[in-house]
Structure 1
Amino acid sequence: MQTGKFIAYYRVSTDRQGRSGLGLEAQQAAVRSYLNGGKWSLIREFVEVESGKRDDRPKLVEALRLCELTGSTLIVAKLDRLSRDAEFLFRLDKSPVNIRFADMPMADKVMIGIMAVVAQWEREQISKRTKEALGAAKARGTKLGGDRGNLAAVAALGASKSLEVRKAMADGRGRKVMHYIDEARASGASTFAAMAAHLNHAGIQTPRGKTWHPASVQKLLVRMEG
């Protein structure tokens, strides 16, 4: 039984398929069959008219962005509707968005995750070889590491880098939300309250997973627009 919020992504290969519904209706039926019987809400559906060989998918980008901002799961009818390219699927596995496939409920762990497992294995092998090289250097009498001053400098650098990463993540999410702020402005919203209402109506959450208020919208705009 499926529960929670979902956003559907469908892909058809040609304009003719997109106009006629050929292939699209089958994908929609598969998604609804997968969700049937649970307490769920299908927030939005995106249709991409693009070949599976191409990775520039504006509708997929938009769907993933909305999933991230609303805490929704991306639901796709079949794995090949997402992509046939392994590297592209691996990049999706790095996304914070949870992905489900109607025809293969475990595909997110078995098909996409297997590429992450391979990458992890490669990282472990590199780490293992590095440790072996350091062990061999130590056995030869090579001095490893440094004094406390160096360690403190490394720790300070690490804290600085961590702050930069957190700021970059916050700015990245802020830019995604700004897309919907601009959407609200285009529809006539001119106050922080109206913009907050637009975000909440779209199901978009604050970074803490809460609803938007005029003050939080104002804070975001000050951060992003100065």
Structure 2
Amino acid sequence: MQIVTYLRVSTARQGASGLGLEAQRAAVSAYAAAAGHRLVAEYVEVESGKRADRPQLTAALAACRLHRATLVIAKLDRLARNVAFIANLMDGGVEFVACDMPHANRLTLHLLAAMAEHEREMISQRTKAALAAAKARGTRLGNPRGAVALLDGCRAAAAVSGTKRTAEAGARAAGLRPLLERYAAAGARTARELALALNVGGVPAPGGGSWYPQQVRRALSG
């Protein structure tokens, strides 16, 4: 079986340090080696599990469709802690396996996703309650430097975000180029024809939705 692996951590610090990523990579590598599966591609995301708009996950799913591969993750909560998200993914035409429960069926995955979502909500409620209690005791919350610290943080975040978006766009273009070449060899010559072929093939556009000729031109020039 051909597999595409998806690794996710929630913070930039975890992504830079490799904390969490190496453990996930080891889990999926052990799973692939034990079953004799062939790794096609690996996608790494630094993003909260709350967010549904994850470029690297989108790219990983596109790669699965392209290679007819199975998506492999270390743990179900690395994919999402959201029942609706997991349900939509299971109905999206891509098979996926969580290494911590490789033989789980659809019912089990729904139950595990529900438990993970409940856990996420409980953590959020406990955090809010702790902050409210601290505020009631007179504890000063936030950064004492105020707007200055916020501005510094915004500048740093903007720089990191720009670099991240550029890297993601390059990765998407590199993964998409073989597919575009195959469509071109089959007779799709113009950007409009290539966009139509991508839409018919079920390949998601970078921002979701349908492909347009201008997006294809950007992918070809990236």
TM-score normalized by structure 1? Answer: 0.53
Please show how residues 90-169 of structure 1 align to structure 2 within 5 Å. Answer: 90-112=87-109
Q: What's the counterpart of residue 193 of structure 2?
A: 223
Q: What's the counterpart of residue 54 of structure 2?
A: 57
Contact 1:93 / 1:112 at 8 angstroms: preserved in 2? no
- Letter of the 2:46 counterpart: V
Contact 1:53 / 1:85 at 8 angstroms: preserved in 2? yes
| Bigger Cα Rg | 1
Deviation at 1:223, TM superposition (A): 2.8
Deviation at 1:113, TM superposition (A): 5.7
Identity %: 41
- Letter of the 1:219 counterpart: A
The alpha-carbon distance between structure 1 residues 11 and 182, as it changes in their structure 2 partners (threshold 3 A), is: closer
Which digits, 9 at most, give the CA deviation of each residue in 1:94-120, with x for residues without a partner?
1111100101012352334669xxxxx
Contact 1:99 / 1:108 at 8 angstroms: preserved in 2? no
SS at match of 1:56: coil
Q: What's the counterpart of residue 206 of structure 2?
A: none
The alpha-carbon distance between structure 1 residues 213 and 62, as it changes in their structure 2 partners (threshold 3 A), is: closer
The alpha-carbon distance between structure 1 residues 33 and 56, as it changes in their structure 2 partners (threshold 3 A), is: same
Contact 1:74 / 1:99 at 8 angstroms: preserved in 2? yes
Aligned Cα root-mean-square deviation (Å): 2.9
2:17 to 20, 24, 47: 20
Q: What's the counterpart of residue 31 of structure 2?
A: 34
Unpaired runs of 5+ in structure 2?
113-171, 197-222
Aligned length: 136
The alpha-carbon distance between structure 1 residues 32 and 108, as it changes in their structure 2 partners (threshold 3 A), is: farther
